[in-house]
Amino acid sequence: MALVGKKFPDLNVDAMNEMGDTFKVNVLEEAVNKKKKVLLFWYPKDFTFVCPTELHAFQEALGEFEKRNTIVIGASCDTPEVHFAWLNTAKDNGGIEGVTYPILADSNRNLSSILGILDITEETYDEATDTVQVEGDNVTYRATYIIDEEGTVQHEGINNMPLGRNVQEFLRLIDALTHVQEKGEVCPANWEEGKDAMKPNAKGTAEYLASH
């Protein structure tokens, strides 16, 4: 179920930071109460291969997100304790030491289930044990959400496990969203900050195409 154009779920989730503090984060409230955009990205597992490259890439770009009034939040289904162990593992040992933004610990999978981003290929009921058997890893795909200051989802994207993300593309999308908010113009293909945008009407489209 696509969430674009809808409010992000109103749910408190455990989180961990680099100081070892466990606390609750409500992504919707982070956006609305702080009047900031939120970039929320999910990754499959701590202590894996592609995942630390993404967490470090978002950390390296953290200043650029902050310039754009945007909070970065990571998330997986690992526990806060596993997050803390990973945060205390050096980068050259596959760890994420130096990452400073909060990381959600959705170990009960309440939020990821609502979002529909878990790797579950099949659920079957076992009458003998009166349990539901799950096929799949039951961890999240690489899902990414951009949420505006009103708590509305403006971007939603999901990559399969082996496909790492391009952090610069999310900065570009946030720039485009900000331009739309401030200028009332729409952003054409391959738009970047400083390039021409378009008036949201047929004349605007014609003028743009004629000049490019």
Catalytically active residues are 51
Structure tokens at 69: 């009034």
Whether residue 41 contacts residue 106, with contact meaning beta carbons closer than 8 Å, is answered with: no
Query: CB under 8 Å to 26, separation ≥6 — which residues?
Result: 10, 11, 12, 13
Alpha-carbon gap, residue 61 to 36, rounded angstroms: 17
Alpha-carbon gap, residue 119 to 159, rounded angstroms: 11
Structure tokens at 120: 């579950």
How many other C-beta atoms can be found within 10 angstroms of the C-beta atom of residue 157?
Answer: 16
Query: CB under 8 Å to 124, separation ≥6 — which residues?
Result: 132, 133, 135
**Residues pairing with 158 in the sheet:** 143
How many other C-beta atoms can be found within 10 angstroms of the C-beta atom of residue 158?
Answer: 15
Whether residue 97 contacts residue 87, with contact meaning beta carbons closer than 8 Å, is answered with: yes
